[in-house]
Chain A
């Protein structure tokens, strides 16, 4: 699946998108965030407060207990500040 990052999540990780292949035991969004956190220091920094990270699967907001199977694009970003 494709992971995409925005705002300070993107800046901390150092790139805007990438292909990821999480193992089978990574079943929901919370699992995926902790799996990503272990990819390196920059990921650990981006996800240091996992509870504040907002997530969208295929361009729809989801909660951290949402299952990730069948997701094509999963986005990680800070709380929104538009308007």
Chain B
């Protein structure tokens, strides 16, 4: 069976169960599916929404490069990456990564690798809109995200 790769950049939300099914339907060699969903988080009840800006064209291409690295590193049967852009409310789904493999280890590890690399390489930027009506700051990049991505270089 061939490997499936699905990469989508979209405004609308996604259906996790449906996306999982896409990777496993019509085949019986998949033994493990890992899904990761990133949500719009509001830590101190101050956030009204997040605005996600992206670089159209490059976002798809860069995610495809990261996906190709994961495919070269783990024996995967399917990968789905969906990243949304536009306005998100607290609790909304922002990003979905699904990895399918014969065994769980490859699925777990590659899903984590994909998220760590997407965080530091995919051209997306978050801006906060505050609950008091003001437009807040652009979210700043975190050093620990760079460190999380860097550890894959050593292993």
Contacts and interface: CB of A to CB of B under 8 A. Distances in A.
Interface string B92-106: 001100000000000
Interface in A47-83: 56, 59-61, 75, 77-83
Interface in B20-48: 38
Interface residues of A, number: 16
Interface residues of B, number: 27
A78 B141 CA distance: 8
A80 B125 contact: yes
B119 interface: yes
Interface of B: 38, 52-55, 57-58, 61-62, 83, 94-95, 115, 118-127, 138-141
Contacts, number: 71
A58 to B, nearest CB: 9
Nearest to B127: A7
Contact of B122 (A8, A60, A83): A83
A75 B58 contact: yes
Contact of A7 (B119, B122, B138): B138
A77 B55 contact: yes
A82 B118 contact: yes
